[in-house]
Amino acid sequence: MAKRGTPDVRSRILDAALDLLAKHGFTELSQLKIAHAAGVRQSHLTYYFPTRTDLLEAVAVRSVQELLASLRAGLISQSIPTADLPLIVGKMLADKRRARVMLGLIVSSDEEREIKRFLRRFVAQVRIGIAGIARLLGHEPSATDVAAFHLLIVGATILNVARDDAASRRECAEIARVAVSRFLVPETQRAGTKRRRRRKAAV
């Protein structure tokens, strides 16, 4: 089980793991390489994260929590306009690191039941966060709305890792626009957006 440790050391380790995932993928992720990239001894890394699974779970939780917290803070302070949300979500989808973390955990979950249990808890927590974002936008989402949004963005980001080209990144941007407008914003806002588009098309 991962230990708490000092925030600075943990952050360096988790950041290094994310960077290595981005550059080399899950198969090249080793404790030795992560320790070297983080500038810590391997014994330090294994103290905080005894197994690669512990590390991946911590990376998954931290990266998603930071994303959701950033979106919440931006929407509350209005530093993120609602109109910019699809663009921000699209960029998140095109970030291959988080998808690689999840793919690594999914592959490992067939052999370790505890990872499967972690993934079930993790999905539930992510969906609570998605519902919270929708409420900040003035929409009370159904469980199906939240699940549909989650499935769309996960599918898009995994396919982006598989294809890894300009077309897949453009598709991420379009899927983000559809997912946000269809499942996160209130129906009245969606109707207003459609009217504005029709007016623009008529000009």
pLDDT tens, 62-116? 888 888 999 999 999 999 999 999 999 999 888 888 888 888 888 888 888 889 9
Compute the distance between CA of residue 165 and CA of residue 153 in angstroms, rounded to an integer. 17
**pTM for this structure?**
0.81
Q: Which domains does the chain have, with CATH numbers?
A: 1-50 (1.10.10.60), 60-202 (1.10.357)
Across 21-56, b (16+ Cβ under 10 Å) vs e yields: beeeebeebebeebbebbebeeebbeebbeebbbbb
Compute the distance between CA of residue 24 and CA of residue 22 in angstroms, rounded to an integer. 6
Residue 131's CB: how many other CB atoms inside 10 A? 19
DSSP conformational letter for 147: H
Q: Which of 15, 12, 52, 56 is nearest to 32 (CA)?
A: 52
